[in-house]
Amino acid sequence: MTDLQRTIAREVSFEGVGLHTGNFCRVTFTPAPPHSGIRFVRSDLPGLPSVPATWPHVLDVIRGTTLGNSAMRIHTVEHLLSALYGLEIDNLTITVNANEPPVADGSSAPFCELLWNVGIMEQEVPRRMFIPQVPIVYQSGETRISIDPADDLQVTCQIIYDHPLLKQQELNLRLTPESFLAEIARSRTFCFDYEVEALKKQGLVKGGSLENAVVIGMDRIHNQEKALRFPNEFVRHKLLDFLGDLSLIGCRVLGHLTAIRCGHGHNIQFVHRLAEAMAAPSPLASASEARAPR
């Protein structure tokens, strides 16, 4: 992990439809100065209202993470935020002209490729990180999310389903921009075929298709490619979602993260737990301090 804050080299845009709203959206990524964090701006609303991508601004976690305030909402931000967290981008303004960013192919890869190719630059200002000195655990029923002290950022994610095509899957890796690009970014969102009609009745997945999601039947995969990108693509996407939600803590995290049976609601509750720990005396340190011997 780099010791310095990072943004992108120049402005760049991407277009497409939103997964749940089906609305066409143009999203523009603009470099931001140090200590700006990640901020969404709605260019389609009067006054260009904005919201920081931080956990106090989470409004909803049903089938995705929604941010907002009294002036605006932005739905399904987790894939986009996961790309930023995976690439270690700290400061960025994200301007959208609709209420949901493009779903692209259902993964973070198109955003990663766009931002990686435009260039990510260091800002000569030390990055601040949360470095827990003791384990922090969130548990609810069969879900358990935790972070243990470690000298780098490691992630373990596990899913367990009573389904012949999923069953139990687990992924362990040391998270770097390179490992995120290779192992996580390309994994796509998924749902079960029996859920589709119910989701439509709830007014969701209006922009969903077999081109941007993996639909799981009892004995086969329904999607454009008729194949998975990884044998365990489902746990990889759960980790992708988790990292997008984790980014809402508002800084980098150093430690070994473990997420078992995670989901958006649980992810945000874990972030709340981290925020409580950060409020304790001296929870933050600069990158250089973070690497000092404990």
- Number of folded domains that form the chain: 2
Residues 192 and 217 in one domain: yes
Same domain assignment for residues 64 and 150: no
Distance of alpha carbon 252 from alpha carbon 229, whole angstroms: 28
Do 152 and 192 lie in a common domain? yes
Domain identity same for 87 and 62: yes
pLDDT at 195: 80
pLDDT, tens digit, for every residue of 103-132?
999 999 999 999 999 999 999 999 989 999
Q: Is the model's pLDDT at 284 over the cut of 60?
A: no
Higher confidence at residue 196 or residue 106? 106
100 burial type by CB count under 10 A (0-12 exposed, 13-18 middle, 19+ buried): buried
- pLDDT tens per residue across span 35-80: 999 999 999 999 999 999 999 999 999 889 999 999 999 999 999 9
3-state secondary structure of 17: strand
Of 163, 264, 266, 272, the catalytic one is 264
Measured distance CA(136)–CA(149) in Å, rounded: 9
| 153 and 222 share one domain | yes
pLDDT for the residue numbered 187: 97
User: Which of residues 63, 97, 126 is at a domain's end?
Assistant: 126
Question: What is the overall mean pLDDT for the chain?
Answer: 91
The pLDDT value recorded for residue 16 is 94
Q: Provide, rounded to the nearest whole percent, the portion of the chain with pLDDT above 90.
A: 76
Same domain assignment for residues 149 and 85? no
Question: Final residue of a domain: which of 126, 147, 166?
Answer: 126
Angle at which helix 78-86 crosses helix 233-246, to 10 degrees, equals: 80
**pTM, full prediction:** 0.92
For residues 46 and 259, what is the distance between their CA atoms, to the nearest angstrom? 40
At residue 128, the pLDDT reads 87
Q: Say yes or no: 57 and 160 in one domain.
A: no
Which among 101, 126, 151 is the end of a domain? 126
Based on the domain organization, do 197 and 76 belong to the same domain? no
Note down the domain range covering 114: 4-126
Q: Say which range, 38-42, 81-85, 191-195, has the weakest mean pLDDT.
A: 191-195
SS3 203: coil
Residue 264 annotated to the active site:
yes
Domain CATH code at residue 94: 3.30.230.20
Same domain, 135 and 118: no
For residues 115 and 213, membership in a common domain is answered with no
Task: Name which residue leads in pLDDT, 220 or 83.
Answer: 83
pLDDT at residue 291 greater than cutoff 50? no
Residues 149 and 268 in one domain: yes
Q: State mean pLDDT over 180-187.
A: 98
Q: pLDDT for 212-270, tens place per residue?
A: 889 888 888 888 777 899 999 999 999 999 999 999 999 999 999 999 999 999 999 99
Same domain, 175 and 276: yes
Q: What is the CATH number of the domain that holds 185?
A: 3.30.1700.10
Residue 206's Cβ-side half-sphere holds a number of Cα atoms within 13 Å equal to: 15
Helices (DSSP H) in the chain: which residue ranges? 78-86, 109-118, 177-183, 196-201, 233-246, 264-278, 287-290
Residue 286: pLDDT above 60?
no
Taking alpha carbons only, the member of 219, 203, 28, 20 closest to residue 106 is 20
**Residue 265: per-residue pLDDT:** 96
